């Protein structure tokens, strides 16, 4: 039996209200040659019990168990390590996929097996609203330099790990470039720690102009919310992320303009977290003026 083409990885922590919907969206994909990896990150509810029920009926579902709560950055990594597919896709279990998500991405991969990374669009769900989150680029394959220019000009980074198909070997390489200490666990802005090296080491990036992911804004989100997590811890984690990004850039001479824009948005998030809204725009504008030459110099290349 051949290995599946795509592994969908669900880092799972206290999402019993939503996980059935997420798993249904995986097992009912129109493209069937997938594996579904549920990473038990030591929650306290019945999420894993529900996942076990589904696994008993579908042998494409695997459940792996962390010995302790590792938080999102490492929980996702544990799932990738056991994946048997050449490509991976992340699904936070309070979200769900459109049923043709894998099929649409496989069409692209079948046409060009040199694609490292596929970006696709999403719906953002909040209360009764459903809003499109779109890049609005031309749908095609880009070399890294051209894709970066478009991202930077639009200032729309889409740095989440969801909403993408990623070549597994590239993800593992990107993770290895993060100078993490052994016990570092990160939930806040963890996506961008992988996004930054991942973009820089990708050669061919495809933008697929289709809404294939449904992102649910909710208080019980796997990624947490500003009200459900300790604000001080969030800010400490974000500061840690910022320092790690600087080290990555210093170690590998990755794109400085992209790092600048990432730091710009992280700074906004930090002051929103801290509640210092009165000083928010003043401090962000100072940051932008001090660093803008790095940004615009790249755009003129």
Residue 300: strand, helix, or coil: coil
CA distances from 13 to 47, 103, 187, 192 (A): 7, 28, 12, 20
* Overall average pLDDT of the 122-132 stretch: 91
What lies within 8 Å, CB to CB, of 116 at 6+ separation is 166, 167, 170, 202, 203, 204, 205
Query: Looking at residues 64-88, what average pLDDT do you find?
Result: 96
Position 222 pLDDT exceeds 50: no
11 in Cβ contact with 95 (< 8 Å): no
The DSSP symbol for 3 reads P
pLDDT interval class at 269 (50, 70, 90): confident
This prediction's pTM? 0.90
Q: Do residues 132 and 187 touch, judged by C-beta distance below 8 A?
A: no
Please tell me the distance from the alpha carbon of residue 57 to that of residue 27, in angstroms, as a whole number.
10
Q: Would you list the DSSP string of 145-213?
A: HHHHHHHHHHT-----SSSEEEEHHHHHHHHHTS---TT----SSHHHHHHHHHHHH-SEEEEEEEEEE
* CA 9 to centroid of chain Cα atoms: 11
Report pLDDT digits (tens) over 146-204: 999 899 888 889 999 999 999 999 999 999 999 998 888 888 889 999 999 999 999 99
For residues 216 and 125, what is the distance between their CA atoms, to the nearest angstrom?
A: 5
Nearest-angstrom CA–CA distance, 301 and 152: 12
Q: In the numeric block, which tokens belong to residue 166?
A: 């990623």
């Amino acid at each position: 039996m051949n290995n599946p083409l795509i592994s969908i990885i669900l880092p799972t922590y206290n999402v019993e209200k939503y996980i059935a919907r997420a798993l249904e969206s995986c097992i009912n994909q129109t493209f069937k040659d997938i594996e579904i990896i549920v990473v038990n990150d030591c929650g306290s509810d019945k999420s894993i019990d529900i996942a076990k029920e589904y696994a008993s009926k579908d042998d494409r579902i695997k459940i792996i168990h962390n010995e302790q709560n590792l938080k999102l950055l490492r929980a996702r990594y544990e799932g990738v390590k056991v994946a048997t597919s050449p490509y991976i896709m992340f699904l936070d279990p309070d979200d769900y996929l459109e049923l043709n998500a894998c099929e649409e991405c496989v069409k692209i991969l079948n046409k060009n097996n040199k694609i490292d990374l596929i970006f696709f669009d999403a719906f953002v769900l909040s209360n009764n609203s459903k809003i499109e989150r779109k890049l609005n680029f031309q749908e095609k394959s880009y070399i890294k330099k051209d894709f970066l220019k478009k991202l930077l000009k639009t200032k729309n980074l889409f740095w989440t790990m969801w909403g993408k198909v990623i070549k597994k070997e590239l993800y593992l390489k990107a993770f290895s470039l993060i100078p993490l200490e052994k016990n570092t666990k990160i939930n806040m802005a963890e996506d961008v720690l992988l996004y930054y090296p991942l973009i820089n080491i990708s050669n061919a990036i495809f933008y697929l102009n289709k809404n294939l992911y449904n992102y649910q804004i909710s208080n019980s989100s796997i990624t947490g919310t500003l009200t459900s997590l300790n604000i001080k811890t969030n800010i400490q984690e974000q500061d840690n992320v910022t320092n790690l990004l600087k080290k990555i850039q210093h170690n590998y001479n990755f794109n400085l303009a992209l790092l600048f824009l990432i730091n710009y948005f992280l700074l906004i998030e930090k002051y929103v977290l801290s509640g210092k809204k009165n000083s928010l725009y003043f401090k962000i504008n100072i940051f932008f003026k001090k660093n803008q030459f790095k940004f615009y110099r790249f755009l003129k290349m």
